[in-house]
Copies of this chain bind each other. A is one copy, B any other.
């Protein structure tokens, strides 16, 4: 079940560096794109940065709408995560092509991808220089959600191998989130 995550904890949903899926929407178009280059930059108020290349359809939709969703997929979505990074959504609706179910986000127009473990609804903070020079978007996290089996009391759980997050090495080869280890306090 999807439950709300307090915004001051939103960074925890991506702090361990999972590869994400960015969803976007503007007008009657929508898209989904694989993005490994997404990270937190502030705790409270929660902010992230994401690289969205200039030649992508996602970039057009984000620039038109000023918003996007960072979805955190799990190992059961491995082939989808890779496939979503291999084709453009400009000519074909990738949700249809990849049989992806969605539900509405609470604040932004971009959809939440069903089957993911966590979701960050994001509103772009306009930074034209960073966008143009580095393809880098700063965004406020305006709502955050997690699957209540995967994120419990502010801590990630990986109840099964299929629920582990994916971390792209390159070329369609990923590592999953592995053993939990605790440092000496």
- Give me the interface of A with B, judged by CB distance under 8 Å: 12, 15-19, 36-42, 47, 49, 51, 75, 78-79, 81-83, 127, 129-130, 134-136, 138, 154-156, 158, 161, 164, 166-170, 172-185
Query: Is B174 a contact of A167 with CB atoms below 8 Å?
Result: no
16 further interface pairs, Cβ-Cβ under 8 Å (given A36-B39, A37-B41, A49-B49): A15-B36, A16-B174, A17-B17, A41-B134, A42-B134, A79-B184, A82-B184, A127-B130, A130-B130, A154-B170, A156-B169, A167-B177, A169-B180, A173-B182, A175-B177, A176-B179
Query: Is B180 a contact of A179 with CB atoms below 8 Å?
Result: no
Task: Give the copy number.
Answer: 2
Q: Choose among B75, B136, B156, B161 the residue that contacts A175 (Cβ–Cβ < 8 A).
A: B156
* Known pairs A41-B136, A49-B49, A51-B41; A167 contacts B167 (CB<8 A): yes
Give CA–CA (A161, B66) in the complex, Å.
Answer: 43
Q: Which residue of B lies closest to A14 (CB)?
A: B17
Query: Is A12 a contact of B130 with CB atoms below 8 Å?
Result: no
Give CA–CA (A58, B25) in the complex, Å.
Answer: 40
Give CA–CA (A109, B145) in the complex, Å.
Answer: 43
Give CA–CA (A41, B173) in the complex, Å.
Answer: 19
